[in-house]
Amino acid sequence: MVLKHRARRFDRQYPAGEEQDVGCLHQGPGIARGAGRNCTGGRPAGAYTFLPVLPGDGLMWIRKSEKDRQEGRRTPIPTQVVSNEEYIPMPQSEDQRRVERRIHELADRLAGRRRMSRRQYLGSAAGMAAAFLAMNEVFGRYFLVDWAEAAEAGTERESWPDFIFDAQLHHVKEGIVGPLGFRRLAGMFNLNPDLVGVRPGREDLQLENFTKEVFLDSETTMGIISGAPIGDDRYNILPVDMMVETRRTINELAGSQRMLSHGLAAPNMPGSLEEIERQAAELKVDGWKCYTGVPVNPWRMDDEEVAYPFYELALKLGITNISVHKGLPIVGTDPEYCRPWDIRKAALDWPDLNFIVYHSGFRNLVNELAAGNTGIDENGYLVWTSDIVKDRLETPEMTNVYMELGSVFGHTAITHPEICSHLMGQILKAFGSDHVIWGTDSIWWGSPQWQIEAFRRFEIPEALQEKHGYPAITRKDKERILGLNSARMYGIDVPAALESIPGDRLSQMRAEYLESGPQPSNTQYGWVHEGPLAEDPEVPWSTPI
């Protein structure tokens, strides 16, 4: 199917005099160029842009939060996969539509019984329980939940564990006037053409709302602000100095340590070692974030000329946790550099460093997995994730490799819990629960609370345990994964934190917020495709690159 383009106005107009900076749009297949623009200027308020659309204007990018606002049908858990712009989001499946309908049916039935409005009910613990009842009705029993939680007051499950550390948190910098960073890259490097020109609501993605979503609307105790080391700060949604400022702001607001910050390490770039030393000395970063599959000068973790000088410096600096984006390749880049086949050698060569594989190396979105009745082959093979699982099983000395769950737990849990069972079962079987790291990729997914609830309740069915040798996920396993593992890696004294945090200012704010009647957004800030052709089988949703 050939993409066609025509002019349309933005739904959201710019204030008078404001310009949009989308970077340079290179002419190429599927790319539209705004009339009269060059690669250095912005576009005046109200000007036309060329947005990529399918024939009949049937396809567009829209933030899930904006779609929810327009339709007024928010749910406690997402019923559609969202994208942070690194990959094309898949359309809502029929099963997900069934879940969404059932959630609203239960809300209509039960809200009055709990003396709540429909919206209040869906924002409550009872509404969350109703969402997992709907999931079990559609997909089978994967989540621990019972009818009483949704229907009767005072039946909520005990909240546990007490310590939750989110290893993958994001927001965008204040003052950003154009589309998010990946859109800029999409234009500059001819990557993902139909991202260009769609304007986000800035306030939803910035620090104030981020703080509400993470620390008021969820039980997250601590976290680490992360980012993407893509080079020039002009194209970065949150440069490292601003990440560290987020750490300072939240910790000062709380009066205790609630936030850590990654440093951004790009050893493929000139002057990188000097910049890494600056971040350690001046910014006191808590760990490193790497991105091997960048559009320009991609690199490998086992490249002895590019990566190893960085590892030597990391050891010298005493900052030894190295997190790397693996899996979920940016559309249009070489996916081989996001493949986790370079982890084993690096880990074996540098046993005193910890390598944290973000997204668990998960290559595909659910609709790319091998065909079959369940969308996965009978052996449960998950492209790339199963490969690094095999590496670990065959190499017991890879004890310094950890698997992180950002986005992949969330989108497999809501899209196909059986695939989520294979994901969790394989990781636990190979790495053990003490080598799995909790991360949510929020704020793209909205508040982390629904993912926390999903993980607390999630079970691997006994049939899959017996067939594939997967372990059951125990409460102790979940406590390790949700927080204790990250605490150990980052040197956090959990008993001391649990003694100080309940009395800090952020906890007081949360208590007052909950007492006054919480207003969770029940939405996500990532992107979905929307329009009458959004489910056309010829559209290359997350197609292999």
The secondary structure of 393-422, three-state, reads HHCCCCCCEEEECCCHHHHHHHHCHHHHHH
Q: Is residue 321 part of a domain?
A: yes
Give the count of beta carbons closer than 10 Å to the beta carbon of residue 257: 17
Q: 420 and 271, same structural domain? A: yes
* CATH number where 428 lies: 3.20.20.140
Q: Is residue 50 part of a domain?
A: no
Residues in the chain, total: 545
Q: 372 and 248, same structural domain? A: yes
Q: Model pTM greater than 0.85?
A: no
Q: 469 and 379, same structural domain? A: yes
Q: Is residue 450 part of a domain?
A: yes
Angle at CA 426, nearest 5°, toward 100 and 396?
A: 155
How many domains, in total, are found in the chain? Answer: 2
Instruction: Give buried/exposed letters for 39-64 (b at 16+ CB in 10 A, else e).
Output: eeeebeeebebbbbbbeeeebbbbbb
Domain of residue 139 covers 94-156
Q: Which two tokens stand for residue 350?
A: 């540098």
Q: Is residue 83 part of a domain?
A: no
Q: Is residue 384 part of a domain?
A: yes
Q: 220 and 145, same structural domain? A: no
Q: Is residue 533 part of a domain?
A: no
Q: 369 and 274, same structural domain? A: yes
Q: How many angstroms separate the most distant Cα atoms in the chain?
A: 66
Q: 242 and 151, same structural domain? A: no
Going residue by residue through the chain, which has 545 residues, state the pLDDT in tens, using 9 for 90 and above: 333 322 222 233 323 333 333 222 222 222 222 222 233 233 333 222 222 333 334 445 555 555 655 555 678 888 876 665 555 666 778 898 999 999 999 999 999 888 899 889 998 889 999 999 999 999 999 999 999 999 987 677 776 778 999 999 988 776 554 334 434 433 443 433 444 444 444 455 578 888 888 999 899 999 999 998 876 777 788 899 999 999 999 999 999 999 999 999 999 999 999 999 999 999 999 999 999 999 889 999 999 999 999 999 999 999 999 999 999 987 778 999 999 999 999 999 999 999 999 999 998 755 455 434 455 778 899 999 999 999 999 999 999 999 999 989 998 998 889 999 999 999 999 999 999 999 999 887 788 999 999 999 999 999 999 999 999 999 999 999 999 999 999 999 999 999 999 999 999 999 988 888 766 655 555 556 565 445 554 444 433 32
SS3 43: strand
Q: 265 and 120, same structural domain? A: no
Q: 363 and 459, same structural domain? A: yes
Q: 306 and 216, same structural domain? A: yes
Q: Is residue 538 part of a domain?
A: no
Q: Is residue 41 part of a domain?
A: no
Q: 369 and 270, same structural domain? A: yes
Q: 244 and 109, same structural domain? A: no
Select from 175, 323, 324, 171 the least CA-distant residue to 238. 171
Q: 210 and 273, same structural domain? A: yes
Angle at CA 82, nearest 5°, toward 87 and 107?
A: 165
